[in-house]
A and B are shown apart, each in its own frame.
Chain A
């Protein structure tokens, strides 16, 4: 019996070496371990005929041999399966650099949306709320409420679209009317930005558009200072163009702020050395800003003796052009997929 067990084990080991595919392997497995006629099964059946003492010993030995045979089978199977995968790499090879066909559509957001969302995220992280107001605005909110009375020369600077049959309606020339609407609705203190579409009645060319996007900011509280304005502008500039970016403020007249400034940042293309984009000045003008004029606070129902604050405006369309080096502002409104699918 003992000899038979050792022999059958050796025999399987030898024959496994020549089992070169899974069907061959399966046939071998059946030949030795089939429940009805397996060679090993049959051998074990003979255990019954042995005397008690020997049956115990041989039973233990039989189990050991069985484990060894099964593990030999299993090792060979793993080997055969591995060999099959190795061939798969050749038989089922594809060009992994090719795209999926037919192509899945890929959508794109407008470049202005990208820039606007980016700034919205910055400001909401600083606790600003995002507001908007009507694009077709009343003369009152667009002009009077922001300290631009009729016949004010400032109305000269902003050529305005008027609405036929409604002489006191205009397409808003800036997002500033929302300052007053926001103060009326939310009161103070307030921290808000207003990204939105504005309109100027001017002929379009590569650098001028009658439809443009601004982002206005407004902060009003009891202790808001010019220094805070500068701090926020510096934060925005560094967020957009890197930590080394400087902000330079120059006096500029806007009726709705006092003092009023325009804000320039060191040109991010030439780092201030002077290039074509910054017209060799080293500076890019991107902000208009100032301390909110007391008349604007009053129009919003806020007492300027108790509250003060600042406002600023960014030309979103200009930021988009600078960021992506877009040479013609009119691309932004064309709907040309060749342009839009780049963003």
Chain B
């Protein structure tokens, strides 16, 4: 929203020397965010009013003229191609040094003395676009220069002075205004400025409308909740004409195009007071007998409505319309209808000023994607007291702009609201208790009264009554009063301090702590890189992978191709590999993130409801692909094994009882088990799946449900010290070939449990392929024998070792290798 300094000055005194940047900062720090301060005259330096004293054709060029221009202190020769030049005409003269935009395009160029087709030129006669005044002086062709002959200004007068372009415009961020419907006009902003600068606020008090009796205007409101107030009054004696310059100038300053005096009045009042108004051509509303009956009703479902600018909308039953007996003439609070507006031939009008329910206007405006200056204001919840002031203001302006105009009806009104009159009680000491700083009572009163509040003292407490414009939604509880005082007092004046607490340690969040340790271990121990992927997945991708289960789905995804909520971190990680593998020969990644499982129960949806949200466990996902690495499985499984060991709760691989899921390699996949429970999986991606996904490198992945794993994580470090053996260990190796179905885990357990003298078992080789019969594998173990009581002798160890080998042959059908 744009706010004009000159307009503000109607309501609050601002000294000529005031610094607009300071005011902007003050507003930003206490009221609303001023995004920009625009000085109207800026850019017009060096451009003055000039008078063409003499004009003759350029001897060398058909379309150029040689003008002698009076610049106040002498004549300047100027070569110009303007199409509307004449002797005696007042023009915008760009002097040497002024900056213009050639033909309204490109960068600003400084005017320099020039010789054009052999003739000297000492400046430039400007077209509107060349000096940024296109809106003020619309031109009919691009060769037309600005004609200033209507101005009284003497030659040499700076153009900005001559045109009265002395305004400063504040560009205010609309988002900072959403809760303050009273600030959607100059009046409200001026009240804030007056409070901030501790100046007197000049309230508007236009005279009451003297109603006439010639015409009957009646209003009937179907739902008074949706339209708590509706006022209308008819005027005759209208002469539609352009508005006077002062009014046009104000509208232009804040970015509105002047149209005609009647429409301009409604816009002017809206920009001044924040209350949208509407002017109907009375003829469009009236019955044949001249009387006017206005109905405020809901639209019929499917009812068609054509706006002033001839766009057709289909309304739902929620929308509200302003209608005559026959038809809808306005979309309440949003836009007028075709055929109801003021035209050049209008002689009688009806002004409407109303209050509509904010939520309804917002819904309709959103549903129709039709946002207007009017709907933007109504949807913030307007003061129901405002229509009356606005109507009086409009009537006063009408009488000023159209001296023949007068009301021919009484002011018709439907009014069904009660303003909250009960004061807000702010207990003694409340403000200090909230802010932590003492503000003198006198200052508190001053601030509140300047903002329009009424303050009384009752038994030490403050009884604060909100003015109507703050009572609707805005200031209702003592905390709201605290904010009013604090922001005007100045947040900068409140010193920061630190609260004091007991030194009790905060409750631990074990899952968070686990997530953080997992990150550190995977990154810094296993050399994997952390990624953050979206929670959303594409159905095609999930389908290509062949993920089981029903995905939750977004109703309104922003990325239309990714509407699904992930059930697993795998799809995202696979995408990462696919995206990185052409650049890197090794891609090792992990992610810690949530998954969303519809069929499992999560947290409560509300404290008093049995409805449960989906389960949203935090998972750790790992993926690894390396060129020419034939079994990436072990790389990932090792990362997980180390993770379990570092965290203090082992995670082991266990073969799937039947087939693993289809996207995993059927011979290279395992369930991850912690504390006897399945907490995840690890496996290579099935070559067929990998092919479908465009993965050229063998890829292994794993996923652990951290919330499930946490249950098995000891609360305290369980590591235990084993005394170092006093007696030396004796080492023997064993290497053998067994059938593939015998697992390392089973073999290792059998060796370890074979004899109490076996103190450690370590796999040093595992091999299948050439040299080993098919369906079998070769394994090699280092075995340490030791006793806590004595030094073992070689024969003693050899005997046990031989028996162990026999056991392997008998139990596992092992063939020893030598």
Contacts and interface: CB of A to CB of B under 8 A. Distances in A.
Interface of A: 104-110, 112-113, 117, 120, 124, 127-138, 140-141, 145, 151, 153-154, 156-157, 161-169, 171, 181, 184, 186, 189, 191-192, 197, 199, 201-204, 210-211, 219, 221, 223-228, 230-235, 247-253, 258-261, 291, 293-294, 301, 308, 332-338, 340-341
The 6 closest A-B pairs by CB, nearest first: A225-B436, A105-B527, A227-B436, A259-B483, A107-B523, A129-B506
Contacts, number: 256
B606 A141 contact: yes
A154 B479 contact: no
A338 B533 CA distance: 16
A134 B583 contact: no
B435 interface: yes
B616 A112 contact: no
Nearest to A237: B496
A110 B594 contact: no
Given A162-B554, A249-B492, A113 B479 contact: no
A159 to B, nearest CB: 9
A247 B529 contact: no
A201 B486 CA distance: 34
A299 B469 CA distance: 28
Interface in B732-781: none
Contacts of B528: 105, 107
Contacts of B482: 258-259, 291
Contacts of A259: 479, 482-483, 486-487
Given A156-B178, A164-B555, A333-B533, A249 B491 contact: yes
Contacts of A332: 532
Contacts of A203: 558
B103 interface: no
Nearest to A301: B607
Contact of B611 (A131, A138, A224): A138
B580 A337 contact: yes
Given A104-B527, A251-B483, A333-B534, A225 B558 contact: no
Given A108-B529, A201-B556, A234-B496, A250 B33 contact: yes
B501 A107 contact: no
A247 B531 CA distance: 33
A210 B557 CA distance: 10
A230 B496 contact: yes
B499 interface: yes
A113 B530 contact: yes
Contacts of B572: 335
Contacts of A165: 553
Interface in B1-34: 28-33
A250 B434 contact: no
A136 B479 contact: no
17 contacts: A107-B528, A109-B520, A112-B532, A113-B530, A124-B506, A129-B506, A130-B509, A130-B512, A132-B511, A162-B555, A171-B535, A197-B594, A233-B496, A251-B491, A294-B479, A333-B532, A334-B579
Given A221-B499, A259-B482, A341-B529, A133 B603 contact: yes
B585 to A, nearest CB: 10
Given A162-B554, A336-B580, A293 B479 contact: yes
A219 B363 CA distance: 36
A162 B613 contact: no
Given A127-B503, A253-B180, 12 more contacts: A105-B586, A107-B524, A127-B505, A128-B506, A140-B609, A162-B554, A181-B603, A253-B179, A261-B491, A335-B576, A335-B579, A337-B580
Interface of B: 28-33, 175-176, 178-180, 358-359, 362-363, 379-380, 433-437, 477, 479-480, 482-483, 486-487, 491-492, 494-499, 501, 503-509, 511-512, 516, 519-520, 522-535, 552-559, 563, 565, 572, 575-576, 579-580, 583-584, 586-589, 593-594, 596, 602-603, 605-607, 609, 611, 613-614, 616
Given A108-B530, A130-B512, A227 B492 contact: no
A258 B534 contact: no
A163 B552 contact: yes
Nearest to A259: B483
A231 B178 CA distance: 28
Nearest to A290: B483
A153 B358 contact: yes
A260 B483 contact: yes
A232 B563 CA distance: 40
Given A107-B528, A136-B613, A335-B576, A228 B363 contact: no
Contacts of A136: 552, 565, 596, 602, 613-614, 616
